[in-house]
Amino acid sequence: MLTDQVKNMINRSVLCWLATSHDNQPNVSPKEIFTYHDDRLIIANIASPQSVNNIQQNNAVCVSFIDILSQKGYKVTGTAQIIMPNDNAFTPLHSVFSPMVQDKFTILSMIDITPTAIYPILAPSYTYYPDTSEIAMIEQAKAAYFKHDN
């Protein structure tokens, strides 16, 4: 289900946002350390006690990620499980995260998401102005976000 296009977008995204819910109270939390493994999305838990608690009560999740320059990305819905350090899957996945975290963070556990559906995310300009190109969106984003005050 994770196509090459989705995997490429995961690699281009600097954050993803994980939505969880418990007792009908939604929680959305940015995640800095994430990747894919096989056909699953894996998020390192470095500071996510509320997300982990919610998943233990309700494993339905939604994750979104975008390339901030092209303003394109994906929304992934699915089911999550928590991988603890004593689980067999933890060590092999931890080695995937090692280059990302270096010695900055301790990975407390991992959130392993099996996608059930994937939807594209596009900035409204692509829909309302069909002639909008990705190059134009990138240039606009650079102009807006990378201004230098002198």
In a domain, 149, yes or no: no
Q: For residue 29, what are the domain limits?
A: 4-123
Tell me the CATH number at 118: 2.30.110.10
> Scanning the structure block, which residue is given the tokens 């303003």?
71
Cβ–Cβ < 8 Å for 62, 75: yes
Residue 93 domain-assigned?
A: yes
pTM strictly above 0.85: yes
- pLDDT digits over 61-120, tens only? 999 999 999 999 999 999 999 999 999 999 999 999 989 998 899 999 999 999 999 999
User: Quick one: pLDDT band at residue 54, thresholds 50, 70, 90?
Assistant: very high
Q: What is the 3-state secondary structure (H, E, C) of 41-99?
A: EEEEECCCHHHHHHHHHCCEEEEEEEECCCCEEEEEEEEEEEECCCCCCHHHHHHHHHH
59 found inside a domain = yes
148 pLDDT band (50/70/90 cuts)?
low
Mean pLDDT of the residues in the chain: 95
Q: Is residue 110 part of a domain?
A: yes
